[in-house]
Amino acid sequence: MRVAQAIENKLSKELTPARLEIEDDSARHHGHAGARPEGESHFNVTVVSAKFEGMSRIERQRLVYRLLAEEMKTDIHALALTTLTPAEDA
């Protein structure tokens, strides 16, 4: 799981999440545009981080997209995000 590992490494390093869940949802998109035979193209990611405090939902998502910009260009076709602060995850 090369792409999932890259997502985990980058988000863990930059956001020090209290919780990070990465689900490879590629199998549900088999045969659709952007789906690769080997998978790892469609992901559902939940990130709970104190670094999201004071940020809007859009600002949080933009931050994650910025952190994963390289993967978004080449490997990730779709990325569904849930971005929460620890207080929102309680």
Per-residue pLDDT tens digits for 28-69: 655 566 555 566 788 999 999 999 999 999 999 999 999 999
pTM of the model: 0.86
* pLDDT computed for residue 26 by the predictor: 79
Give the number of residues written for the chain.
90
CATH code of 35's domain: 3.30.300.90
* pLDDT computed for residue 33 by the predictor: 60
Give the number of domains in the chain. Answer: 1
Domain containing residue 67: 2-89
Residue 43: name the closest of 83, 85, 81 by CA: 81
Separation of alpha carbons 71 and 1, rounded Å: 13
